[in-house]
Amino acid sequence: MTLPPVQPVKPVRPIQPVQPFDVVVAVPARDEEASVETCLRSVVAAAQHALRTGAVARVRIALAAHRSRDATALRASAYLATTGLDHLVLVDESSDTVGAVRAGLVEAAMAASPRLAPSRTWLLSTDADSVVPTDWVVGLLDVAARTGADLVAGFVALDGWVADPGALAAYDHLLQAGLTAEGHDHVWAANLAVAYPAYAAAGGFPSVVHGEERVLARRVTRAGGKAVGALHPVVTTSARMPGRAAHGLGDLLRRLADAEEEAS
């Protein structure tokens, strides 16, 4: 019996682990010297947790002090310098809208040295009057991985809003109206993550006075990307009235409170 010739065995390529993402956290701030360090401490804790777990390879924390008349930039720089994390503090005196502030900050953060890998970078957004949970970075990226999303809109809880029952009920009605079987259809810039390729394809944050995060989400979906609203992780944000950004959340809360006063 003649045996067939021995075929050479091709070496088996080892399965390569999934390469972790790079992350940029973008935080606009205006006259926030009283709260900026609290915000950044929470962001740093979330970034360090993501690095420890191996969920991300690199994190860059970028803050834009937009036309601030106080020591926002100095306090942010002083604190971030103690963390050992890659960071950027940008003084923005020229942007006319919060959308332009966010767009300029993302552009500066992506261009800073050492360069991040655009194809594997996620942009995370919050605000300087907000506090993110420790699992914020890991949680948003986990939602993206499970759902195949290009943009994840997290949920936001208010801190310190004292209002009449009617105003509270009206705001709760707005939140409830946006809930879906999968999560929600709200979009807050205080709790947002978007893959950089999808962000770039959508043209980035638009230079609008308010609602820049909602416009971005719509553009991502129109460009063929997937946007998902997640109930977790939850970011806590200030309920001050009015807020720093015109027509933002603070203005909405004030309008609800004013409407309740007029009705009573």
pLDDT, tens only, 73-106: 999 999 999 999 999 999 999 999 999 999 999 9
The pLDDT score that the predictor gives to residue 239 is 72
d(CA 204, CA 196): 9
pLDDT, tens only, 5-44: 444 444 444 333 468 999 999 999 999 999 999 999 999 9
Q: How many CB atoms lie within 10 A of CB 110?
A: 20
* pLDDT of 177 above 60: yes
CA dihedral of residues 239, 39, 127, 160 (deg, nearest 10): 0
The pLDDT of 59-63, averaged and rounded, is: 98
Q: Count helices and strands (H / E) in the chain.
A: 8, 8
Give the predicted TM-score (pTM) of the model: 0.83
The first and second tokens of residue 146, run together, are 């499970």
DSSP letter at 241?
S
33 membership: H or E segment, kind and range: none
Contact 29, 72 (CB under 8 A): yes
The pLDDT score that the predictor gives to residue 159 is 83
DSSP letter at 245?
S
Query: Measured on CA atoms in the order 164, 172, 193, 159, is the torsion positive or negative?
Result: positive
The pLDDT of 213-226, averaged and rounded, is: 97
d(CA 81, CA 94): 25
Is the preceding omega at residue 118 within 30 degrees of 0, hence cis? no
The pLDDT score that the predictor gives to residue 171 is 62
DSSP letter at 161?
-
- What's the order of all strands across the beta sheet hosting 130-131? 86-92, 56-66, 21-29, 121-125, 192-195, 151-159, 227-238, 130-131
Nearest CA to 136 among 195, 73, 191? 191
Domains and CATH numbers, the chain: 21-263 (3.90.550.10)
The pLDDT of 55-67, averaged and rounded, is: 97
The pLDDT score that the predictor gives to residue 244 is 54
- 3-class state of residue 154 by DSSP: strand
